[in-house]
Structure 1
């Protein structure tokens, strides 16, 4: 952890903070979180990008639901539409579905959400209409795919509330970062400090990489730059 993290830093806007995270990769963020004592901030590794190369960065918008085959489909749909109106620009819809069979996101939802600037979705659950979603380039990280619509068998309980997704506690406004290595959640209260320290770590790793490519021994590179 850098010395900067123990002192007050100049506050930045949400847009500026997200821009900093867009320049980072999840391993650096996870390493810094470990140094901060937050060792369990990476989601279940079964939650992966819908397509290779997909990345997502945004502010957490947690969604909570559960299987329920007694639901009224019209009521569920109405709640979904209401929930969609609350997702902020740059928000990442991050789902605690408690489900293993239904699809919780599909083509029409993505078509509705994408023009509003929603950053993407992370689903401890399922997605369908995958070819269309890939074509639209909407970032989705999910556990499985399924053609089964959740509207008929799943209850949307609450949104923009605390949740546990993929084994990680997530609160509204936390920073969600996903790439090919997985999805990590940064608690909002330390998000600025983590971004600064992760940038420092990435810079050090770049220096080590350059040294190794120039033929410097690994031990020497580590001793000079303090990371490996």
Structure 2
């Protein structure tokens, strides 16, 4: 197993609140994506290395060109990655049935978009992990093109680069800069171990304030 897959699997066992707490303590308090980007299935957690995509709305586009670039997106995303898309558009769906099935078959861990999704029932049934802002049946054909891959993007106040890590669950989405990713994951795992000790102490009758003072975590 390569290093990025190992770290992705470890991160997916964590939760966004603990990741945020660690990033905040390390001086990175503004790494959460807008809270209106929500999971298609709230029971699914998603984590992995980021592959960035951006695009643009243009209703003068040739339908063939839009589909050519969309299939390029499906082709370029590497196995084991999480695609994060800044569509620069709030009208269309930027993920659907066949695309989700294709990405799942390729081993893509999931898809996060600051935009829309359709065919949500099908995507939910196959278990592909999608986080989006809204749903609409309106597709991209002749209206939207993916025109940039692996370039820096921004969603909300967060700068996102290919190679960063992302952790997403029902509470929100947190982006971890690549250069501190392993350190963050190790610290989060330590937080989870400490939280388990605090919980065990309280369940055994220890006063919550005393438990906090002993372990330094609550």
Q: Deviations over 1:177-201 (max 9, x none)?
A: 1111111110110000000111111
Measured after TM superposition, the shift of residue 152 of structure 1 is 2.4
Paired with 1:102 and 1:19, the residues of 2 have a C-alpha distance of: 32
Please give the secondary structure, in 1, of the residue aligned with 2:94: coil
Q: What does residue 26 of structure 1 align with?
A: 16
Q: Check the 8 A contact 2:198/2:211 in 1, yes or no.
A: yes
Candidates 168, 174, 183, aligned match of 2:158: 168
Q: What does residue 97 of structure 2 align with?
A: 107
Regions of 4+ moved over 2 Å = none
Q: What does residue 117 of structure 1 align with?
A: 107
Note if 1:131 corresponds to 2:145.
no
Q: What does residue 42 of structure 2 align with?
A: 52
Q: So what's the TM-score if we normalise by structure 2?
A: 0.96
Q: So what's the TM-score if we normalise by structure 1?
A: 0.92
Measured after TM superposition, the shift of residue 30 of structure 1 is 0.6
Residue segments in structure 2 that go unaligned for 5+ positions in a row: none
Q: What does residue 93 of structure 1 align with?
A: 83
Q: Check the 8 A contact 1:54/1:140 in 2, yes or no.
A: no
Would you say how many aligned residue pairs link Structure 1 and Structure 2?
Answer: 217
Q: What does residue 149 of structure 2 align with?
A: 159
Q: Deviations over 1:109-133 (max 9, x none)?
A: 0111111100000010000000100
Paired with 1:158 and 1:28, the residues of 2 have a C-alpha distance of: 32
Residue segments in structure 1 that go unaligned for 5+ positions in a row: 1-11
Q: Check the 8 A contact 2:66/2:140 in 1, yes or no.
A: no
Paired with 1:49 and 1:166, the residues of 2 have a C-alpha distance of: 17
